Amino acid sequence: MGTVKLGENMEIEKEVIMKACSMAMKAHKSTEKYLSEGIQSSSSEVFFSFAGSLSVNDWFAGSAFGEMKVDLQFFPSLKYVGLDQTGRVNEAFFKRFEAVLANPRFKDEVEKAVADRRQVVFTGHSSGGAIAILATAWFLEVYNRQSSDCIAPLCLTFGSPLVGDYIINIAIRREKWSRYFVNFVMRYDIVPRISLSPLSSIKQQLQRVLDYFNQNAQQPPNDAPAFYETVVKNASSVANYAACKITGSTNPLLETVSSFVELSPYRPFGTYVFCTGTGKLVVISNPDAVLQVLFYSSQLSTGEEKETVAKASLRDHLGYEKYLQKHLKTPAVTSLFHHRQEALSVSSNVASVEREKVDEALNDLGLSGRARLCLRAAEALENQKLRNQATIDGKKKDIEKCLDKLQEYQSKCAHKVGYYDAFKSSEEEEDFHANVARLELAGIWDVIIGMLKRHELPDEFEGQKEWIGLGTRYRRLVEPLDIANYYRHLKNEDTGPYMGKGRPRRYKCTQKWLEHAEQLPNEIPESCFWAEVEELCIKAGCQGTTESILHLKTRVDKWIQNEELGGDVLLENSTFTKLQKQHFLTT
């Protein structure tokens, strides 16, 4: 059957897509939690398809939108690393995935596929797609993050509801996993939009809709139009709020309303393939653009359409296999956004033939002029983030120049009382110059962390090795000077210990980048060694201080051995050596 190109760097065998769709529909009707196929065959892929659920309780749990914080034991990467924010996922879907994972047979079959060097394809229809998404994230954590040699999985969903919040999207893109998630969505299918509504607004209608899917009745429920209208209204609130954010709107009314009205936390991630209903496939990988298309493609042109479209929104949910069988043979694919490239769909300099093709695809999705403005804004925001990255990349030389100066200063101090103690006393001119470099670096890094906090940098930024390395070098070299400055000016008497409220976010972020990249435990780092020493000096003579010093000494020996801490901390006149002598721990 050949392959189908879904974006710039993604080609999938048509046979794989059809096999996944067939298995997804089969699992949706199964009483088993999952089905597997290909384990014993010689094919290149092993398929795992997950059953959907037709009970409201398996769609929403607990709060209005049924979300929960990610269990980091299962998904340690699904967080905003530097800012220490944990992503949120649908709790009901997670519980169902947890039940699958508790089945030893599932893990054994996955393990065999990995050992046999075969690609694992996770798939699901409806809420079964949500389980497939979580299974894929789990696989990436357990296998691909631990070994670059492992064949990456593929997740193909059909009419899946949204699963996680914007932090999940950031994490997936940071880890460069986004291309492994491909979500097919029929234009009017209501299910991918359901998670944008609070349960209270749709509970009774949703159960009747799920019953319709189960019975496969000829006619949708009578309240299908009301259900459709409610879901689309809720989608409108989320999409409009998001549009204001990506366009930079500062409307105070928007902020006031959002503080009273709870909006859905769920956001799309991965690649979306919209099936227009006219034989075309429209590919979008920009999550902001996907959210806008989910809303605007479901809008009605006239009020008279409501009943027809509402019924189509339910029938579409059951029509993926038939649609793809018909149109995947000679697919007409249009990519609106290439991953991390300028979007062809809305750039004014696109060749006229390509522009006509894109316009036709947008028309088939029913996207209005306002919708296209939102797509332009999503593209512009993505490009602005890339420009912001280029700007701070231009600061690397300034950072390295200042760090080189401080490295030289550290070398000179190593022959005196040590780096930390020399700077804390600040009696020489070179100490003054070191302070200037410290302040210059603080200014640069505070700008970077501020941009990160405001989501003004690409989602991949926190995972870039060069910045992780530069941040680690900065933290190890400069944080001791910040600690010296903190205690020299007695800031601890007003603010408390440095490790409490005194430690700047720039050091916390760069520490967490390294811990995540190298899968290290979250502990007090070597760059905070002197803060521990200062607090032990304050507590000198108190019960337990001697044991704390001995414990610290053990860690110091390890840090020096690993070249994470300079040997000058053990000089005769260093504060740490004096502290040990005071407690008769050294000669």
Q: Which residues are catalytic?
A: 126, 189, 317
User: By C-alpha distance, which of 145, 141, 138, 149 is closest to 114?
Assistant: 149
By CB atoms closer than 10 A (0-12, 13-18, 19+), residue 386 is middle
Q: Which amino acid is at 533?
A: V
Integer-rounded Cα Rg, in Å, for the chain is: 28
Tell me how far apart the alpha carbons of residues 479 and 439 are, in angstroms, rounded to a whole number. Answer: 11
Tell me how far apart the alpha carbons of residues 219 and 203 are, in angstroms, rounded to a whole number. Answer: 20
Give the number of other CB atoms < 10 A from CB of residue 58: 17
Instruction: Encode burial over 75-85: b for 16+ CB neighbours within 10 A, e otherwise.
Output: bebbbbbbbee
Tell me how far apart the alpha carbons of residues 158 and 165 are, in angstroms, rounded to a whole number. Answer: 19
- 8 Å CB contact between 23 and 35: yes
Tell me how far apart the alpha carbons of residues 421 and 436 are, in angstroms, rounded to a whole number. Answer: 17
- 8 Å CB contact between 552 and 536: yes
**Phi/psi at 71 (nearest 5 deg)?**
-80, 105
User: By C-alpha distance, which of 369, 562, 403 is closest to 471?
Assistant: 403
Tell me how far apart the alpha carbons of residues 195 and 182 are, in angstroms, rounded to a whole number. Answer: 18
Is the torsion defined by CA of 438, 443, 448, 452 positive or negative?
positive
Q: Report the chain's terminal Cα–Cα distance, integer Å.
A: 79
**Phi/psi at 86 (nearest 5 deg)?**
-90, 140
Q: Which amino acid is at 482?
A: D
DSSP calls for 392-431: HHTTHHHHHHHHHHHHHHHHHHTTTT-HHHHHHH--SHHH
